[in-house]
Chains A and B, each alone.
Chain A
């Protein structure tokens, strides 16, 4: 009944791992061929893979795990999806109804444990509820501000001996759940007026634009206005990075020009963003001191949460953007071209700082930034890039330059090490012929490397680019900057595995790159293996830091630009 309901919901792929409480369900999977099941090697990886699939496609990822340890292993992945508003449905087995509350074997209160990190959860009490709950779960997970939904199912409820009439509901009504649609027209008009009246405008777009499929409309609006735009870490790809109006990413490791333009703007349009502390810097009283703030989001609770909005607009990004464009076309007032051109002059001066400039070492040591630049060249900027968390993630965000939405797959909100490889698997399963790259660090990679085996089983030719700095680089960077270089438990060079041999042990290809001169040729070699997973172990300069970096407690204009320069 469950599998049938999932099929009727349009699910064709499930990531999971079996166990006692879900054996009835696994038997049902065995006896059908409409839904493909991917057997991961750890439940955390199932959730990240489903998450990667969801980020790349926009469709909900589906996960199936057993009770107890299966469910708890899934928690990190659920939290990761929750923080980044990713649609996901997690089905967890539960002990038999009669055992619930008795500390039965492999019993955990999954609904309770997951409560703060799900959009909603269901506990099935009777098999007859399954179709409706599945329908509701997918509806809730995918609409409004998306998020993960858990369905906890006691084993007896999936007993095949229960024969019940089955009908999948065509639609649902939920009196307690409404999805915001259009924005308030008066507010939209106000926002457009404010934008047109701006002398130093700035557009700040985030993950909500990608999730809400608003990238094309955002690009149209931004081009019509001719205004500068920045994307958040979650929003990369919402506006083409190669376009001249794009100032790069903003925030803690954002470009000099993006953060300066944020600080000095007089009208700020925030769209699909949440004014996160990694953007605003910790003290919001210093944030955009001169700006009238226009904030568009589908989640009313995101608006005025950390930074008060002058013009709040609740609605779906597509509906609001469409109406803004319409409003703009009809407006009598025109963009103040003189003011705009002096604003662009100012931005041009900030750009001259070239805050992402990379000076090559003369001794052949590879800088991590150069690897990402080479990756961009070789993949023609058209790969799906998943990452783990750390310096390598920031380098990928800063240097890859995403021109399309849904190409950049990273754990922004939770910052989960171990996300990269399983997410890249999910992407590869969604798009079998696409280039799915995982940019990782040797630290993060070891958190889910068992998925090498899953990639072998399902022939997933993911390309793993490991920026191996032989340390927990991001931790080390903070220790350099704030703890007098005391590397407390952030280095382990002597105990690193031989990643090339490790890849080979799983039946994959391993390549090591140690010299700058070999970088391009060996990377090309890696990408020439069309049908094989290749692990590229790139030895990079361990001393390198990620810059620019926001100065703690400062405003957005306060940045450290290099080891020797600050604003």
Chain B
């Protein structure tokens, strides 16, 4: 089962390595990880996508809660939520391909953010699935570089993760 866990932690040196270390130490998976300070500069928000059965996820959340720097935690996948990821992709773009890529970008609501005579850099946000689909839709041997941010997310409705 894929799970998205979001947590608030002290914005202090060492905090991130404690969280990440926990995953490797207990051989839990990390599919993606994002982290940045919140509106309160003393707090960072970290979102990790992991997977495992119920028991494993329960252990992961319990152990994360035990990390002294972790202030609060929520398993977003337990309820309705919004998840987004940002993709930057550089593709070969020459001749007729240029128009084709432009069309495809429009369909996915992606934006071309940089061009050279032979390449486009494109930006796309959405769920990880949508990003996967966009990458898969590129013509064979045209993808030069892919940079993805990993998932960040937020609960739908009034529910918030805050102190």
Would you give the 0/1 interface string for B61-98, flagging 1 where the beta carbon is closer than 8 Å to chain A?
A: 01101101111000000000000000000000000000
Q: Is the CB–CB distance between B71 and A301 below 8 Å?
A: no
Complex contacts, A176 vs chain B, CB 8 Å: 9-10, 68-71
Complex contacts, A308 vs chain B, CB 8 Å: 55
Within 8 A of B (CB), among A32-48: none
Complex contacts, A301 vs chain B, CB 8 Å: 59, 62-63, 65-66
Q: A175-B163, A176-B70, A301-B66 are in contact. Are A112 and B17 (CB under 8 A)?
A: yes
Indicate if B18 sits at the interface (CB-CB under 8 A).
Answer: yes
Complex contacts, B9 vs chain A, CB 8 Å: 176
The minimal Cβ–Cβ distance linking A109 to chain B, given in whole angstroms, is 10
The minimal Cβ–Cβ distance linking A41 to chain B, given in whole angstroms, is 32
Complex contacts, B163 vs chain A, CB 8 Å: 175
The minimal Cβ–Cβ distance linking B20 to chain A, given in whole angstroms, is 10
* A176 (CB) vs chain B CBs: closest residue: B71
Q: Which of B14, B25, B66 sits near A121, CB closer than 8 Å?
A: B14
Q: A116-B25, A175-B163, A305-B59 are in contact. Are A123 and B13 (CB under 8 A)?
A: yes
The minimal Cβ–Cβ distance linking B147 to chain A, given in whole angstroms, is 27
Q: Is the CB–CB distance between A140 and B17 below 8 Å?
A: no
Indicate if A492 sits at the interface (CB-CB under 8 A).
Answer: no
Q: Is the CB–CB distance between B14 and A123 below 8 Å?
A: yes
Would you give the 0/1 interface string for A93-119, flagging 1 where the beta carbon is closer than 8 Å to chain B?
A: 000000000000000000110011001
* B10 (CB) vs chain A CBs: closest residue: A176
Q: A115-B18, A116-B25, A175-B163 are in contact. Are A300 and B69 (CB under 8 A)?
A: no
Q: Which of B65, B68, B70 sits near A300, CB closer than 8 Å?
A: B65
Indicate if A479 sits at the interface (CB-CB under 8 A).
Answer: no
Complex contacts, A175 vs chain B, CB 8 Å: 71, 163
Q: A140-B68, A175-B71, A176-B71 are in contact. Are A111 and B55 (CB under 8 A)?
A: no
Q: How far is the CA of A305 from the CA of B26 in the complex (A)?
A: 12
Would you give the 0/1 interface string for A138-150, flagging 1 where the beta carbon is closer than 8 Å to chain B?
A: 0010000000000
Q: How far is the CA of A324 from the CA of B70 in the complex (A)?
A: 32
Q: Is the CB–CB distance between A111 and B68 below 8 Å?
A: no
Q: Which of A111, A299, A304 sits near B58, CB closer than 8 Å?
A: A304
Q: Is the CB–CB distance between B21 and A116 below 8 Å?
A: yes
Q: How far is the CA of A115 from the CA of B13 in the complex (A)?
A: 13
Q: How far is the CA of A176 from the CA of B70 in the complex (A)?
A: 6
The minimal Cβ–Cβ distance linking B18 to chain A, given in whole angstroms, is 6
Q: Is the CB–CB distance between A120 and B68 below 8 Å?
A: yes
Closest 6 CB pairs of A and B: A301-B62, A120-B68, A176-B71, A116-B25, A300-B62, A301-B63
A-B residue pairs in contact (CB < 8 Å), sample of 27: A111-B14, A112-B17, A115-B17, A115-B21, A116-B25, A119-B68, A120-B68, A121-B14, A123-B14, A140-B68, A174-B68, A175-B71, A176-B68, A176-B69, A176-B70, A176-B71, A177-B68, A299-B66, A300-B62, A300-B65, A300-B66, A301-B59, A301-B62, A301-B63, A301-B66, A305-B59, A308-B55
Using a CB–CB cutoff of 8 Å, the interface residues on chain A facing chain B are: 111-112, 115-116, 119-121, 123, 140, 174-177, 299-301, 304-305, 308
